[in-house]
Amino acid sequence: MNLKNLFKIAVRALVRNKLRAILTMLGIIIGVGSVIAMLAIGQGSKKKIRDQMSSMGSNMLMVMPNFQRRGGVSLGFSVSQVLKYSDVVAIKNEATAVSEVSPEIRASGQVIFGNQNTQTTVYGVTEEYLGIRKLSMKSGRIFSNIELRSMAKVCILGQTVVTNLFGADTDPIGQSIRIKNLPFLVIGVLASKGESGFGQDQDDLILAPYTTVQSRLANIDYINSIYISAASEEKSPLAQSEVTEILRRSHKLKESAENDFRIMSQSELIQTVSSVSDVMTYLLGAIAGISLLVGGIGIMNIMFVSVTERTREIGLRMSIGGRGKDILRQFLVESMMISILGGALGIVFGFAVAKIAGSLMSSPTIVSTQSVVLAFAVCFMIGVFFGWYPAKKAAGLNPIDALRYE
Amino acid sequence: MANKIIEIRNLRKDYHVGEVTIHALRGIDLKIETGEYVAIMGASGSGKSTMLNILGCLDKPSDGDYWLDNVDVKTLDKDELARLRNQKLGFVFQAYNLLPRTTALENVELPLFYNSKIRSKERKERAINALEAVGLADRRDHMPNQLSGGQQQRVAIARSLVNDPVLILADEPTGNLDTRTSFEIMELFQDLNEKGRTIIYVTHESDIARFATRNVIFKDGKILRENMVTDRQFARDILKTLPVENIEEFDV
Ligand SMILES: Nc1ncnc2c1ncn2[C@@H]1O[C@H](COP(=O)(O)OP(=O)(O)OP(=O)(O)O)[C@@H](O)[C@H]1O
Ligand SMILES: [Mg+2]
């Protein structure tokens, strides 16, 4: 039988069994589509979280006091006071894998301008803090070294604070605001960063020289935490061990003593969160896998239900001169056409669902080539196998047995 | 000198159903010559269909020899048998066995698809000619479910004719049809036979068997007797005497 006849026969058979062909295709469309869409959603939200995490800082390490000490002995106040500015200086001087270091001292309180007031947190930092936290200035300037040393009452406002105190139109630079009843001069405004991945407003803050916050607002001689930028992502682990060593030395910890500080690294955090979102992707993938399975079972069902009719058709074709291979080829071509068409529609369907889901959840969706290939391959194999297998069985029968099949 | 188209020696067919063995054919010897028109008769279960299916190479005998057109069928493999069915045989089933949701023309074309020598133009021409031969040229685009039983059987006959077979085998071709339609089918067969085709058909009805030139009567898987038809009838003549309507009450 030549190729033209083969295709003609297959197309006629498909047209004759439109409903069966469409139902089979539907199984494939849903299977392929859902795998693509689900994995795209999973991948997309993973990327979103990663992006947000890395926008929090550049190769950032955070050092904070270690409150969780073993042995149940609470060391009370002293524990939260272990970090000093001298630690910052030590790190700056000794660590090789570190590019920027800044202390952070937090003070919360009321901020007043005219008859407007708002509750916010003032961060006492150095100018290196901006680079570490990936903050940038929208207007104005950063405090100078002189202002740092002289505990100048100057501050830089986050966008939320600007909006709360000044409204939309007033330029806050040069204005005087009161933080905890002390007058501060506004010298700059930070560019907006929006919400963090955890729903936190990253613009609700005020930056001021750490010296000012330490002695004028918080009245303490220690610092709350140290923010560090590793020179590069690869050097982040090295930076972490250097910092550990430096701090242990400057805190005069004995060999056997536990660290009295804790270092969190951004890359570790990203990895942790990524692995969580990987789990989510796998879950979505599993759901998609189930719908792939259900689609596959649907295909099987439809194929097997039509076996009786098709076996008789095979018997008839054989009785008028069709060879076993002619019939197998016909069925193979038929199921390949269904699978390819269904798979193609499924890919389109998957892309569409991913796009719609993406805009509904306002998170990007990433359709990966692997998921398309995987979904298509699986459905193609299911479709072709279950289209072909009954034919394989029937083509082995005597024509008369196939004709009599019930 | 007449040429033997079929020769069968000591042919047997056993069916095994569980523990039981059914001897459907218990040693058949039969010779049929080219151009003969043979009716096989016999009680239900006597092995007529089994015989015809073996003659049509749709089934294999358990034992014995079968020469079709001087070819020992035993020596042919599956593909060669398929080619034989495609090019030398035409089979008409009691249940028509047309492809559903497929036009009459496409049903008739079907055997020609499996003959790669035939181009699509010729295929269509031959199918139309075959439909014309059975008087259904105007129904070529009808689906089987838009045709009466007799018309469907005629489409099936057209399908068996389309590849110009030397031998036409028909298993109770009139079994589902009324008297007049049966006679019309017989007329068709007699015409084909006159043009030189060998025809073998199975029937239960003795008045249908009288259109043949020879009757072979089966009983319990054996040939009970064979006889030439002495009072052979011609369907064409009988149809002329039949009124067109109310033929149901008419008994020949
Ligand atoms: N596929 C089969 N499996 C088992 N037994 C079978 C099979 N086909 C036929 N038989 C048995 O073989 C015997 C002959 O059957 P066959 O169909 O040839 O009879 P028949 O003469 O055509 O009868 P009818 O006039 O009723 O069509 C019967 O006893 C039947 O039960
Ligand atoms: Mg029978």
Question: In a structure prediction context, what are the per-residue pLDDT tens digits for chain A, which is 406 residues long?
Answer: 678 888 888 898 889 888 888 988 888 898 889 889 988 988 888 888 888 888 888 789 999 998 765 555 555 556 678 899 999 999 999 999 999 999 999 999 999 998 899 999 999 999 999 999 999 999 999 999 999 999 999 999 999 999 999 987 788 999 999 999 999 999 999 999 887 766 778 899 999 999 999 999 999 999 999 999 999 888 999 999 999 999 999 998 888 888 889 999 988 888 888 888 888 888 888 888 888 788 878 777 877 777 778 889 999 999 999 999 998 888 888 888 888 999 999 999 999 999 998 888 877 888 889 888 988 888 888 888 888 887 888 888 889 999 988 8
Query: Which residues of chain A from 326 to 345 reach within 8 Å of chain B, CB to CB?
Result: 326
For chain B, the domain total comes to 1
- Domain hosting A182: range is 81-259
| Tens digit of each residue's pLDDT (9 = 90 or more) over B173-206 | 988 888 888 998 899 899 999 999 999 999 999 9
Is residue A9, in this structure, part of any structural domain at all? yes
CA A17 to chain centre: 45
Q: What is the CA radius of gyration of chain B?
A: 18
Q: Which alpha helices (DSSP H) does chain B contain, by range?
A: 48-55, 78-87, 104-113, 120-133, 149-161, 179-194, 206-209, 235-241
Tokens representing residue A299 in the block: 């295909």
Tokens coding A121: 């947190």
Residue A307 falls inside a structural domain? yes
A178 and A101 in one domain? yes
The structure tokens 């095979």 sit at: A314
Q: Is residue B231 part of a domain?
A: yes
Whose CA is closest to A58, among A95, A102, A121? A102
Residues of A in contact with B101 (CB under 8 A): 16-17
The reply to whether A328 falls in a domain is yes
Please tell me whether residues A130 and A240 are part of one structural domain: yes
Burial class (CB in 10 A: 0-12, 13-18, 19+), A160: middle
In-domain check, residue B44 = yes
Stated length of chain B: 252
Burial string for A220-259 (b: 16+ CB within 10 Å, else e) reads eebbbbbbbbbbeeebbebbbebbeebbbebbeeeeeeeb
Residue A65 resides in a domain? no
CA atoms within 13 A on the CB side of B79: 5
User: Do A44 and A88 have their domain in common?
Assistant: no
Bridge-partner residues for A124, per DSSP?
A: A105, A208
Final residue belonging to a domain, choices A227, A259, A291: A259
Tell which residue, A115, A45, A85, has the closest CA to residue A220: A85
* Eight-state DSSP code of residue A217: I
pLDDT (0 to 100) of residue B186: 92
Instruction: Concatenate the DSSP letters of all residues of A290-301 into one string.
Output: HHHHHHHHHHHH
Average pLDDT, chain B: 91
Phi, psi torsion values for A196, nearest 5 degrees = -80, 175
Boundaries of domain holding B186: 35-62+69-241
Question: What are the phi and psi torsion angles at A108 (to 5°)?
Answer: -105, 150
The alpha carbon of residue B80 is apart from the nearest alpha carbon of chain A, in Å, by 9
Q: Are residues A171 and A228 in the same domain?
A: yes
Inside any domain, residue B210: yes
Atom 31 of ligand 1, residue of closest alpha carbon = B45
Is the CA virtual torsion B17, B23, B24, B28 positive or negative? Answer: positive
| Ligand 2 centroid to residue B171 C-alpha, Å | 7
A382 and A356 within one domain: yes
Ligand 1 pocket test, pick from B49, B172, B202 with the greatest ligand atom count within 8 Å of Cβ, gives B49
In a domain, A146, yes or no: yes
In this structure, the answer to whether residues A39 and A109 fall within a common structural domain is no
Q: Report the number of distinct structural domains present in chain A.
A: 2
Within this chain, do residues A41 and A113 fall inside the same structural domain, yes or no?
A: no
Determine, yes or no, domain membership for A57: no
10 Å CB burial of residue A167 (0-12, 13-18, 19+) is exposed
**Same domain flag for A243 and A301:** no
CATH number at B199 reads: 3.40.50.300
> Are A295 and A327 in a shared domain?
yes
Assess if residue A76 is contained within a domain.
no
Whether the CB of B18 sits within 6 Å of ligand 1: no
How far is A173 from A171, CA to CA, in rounded Å?
6
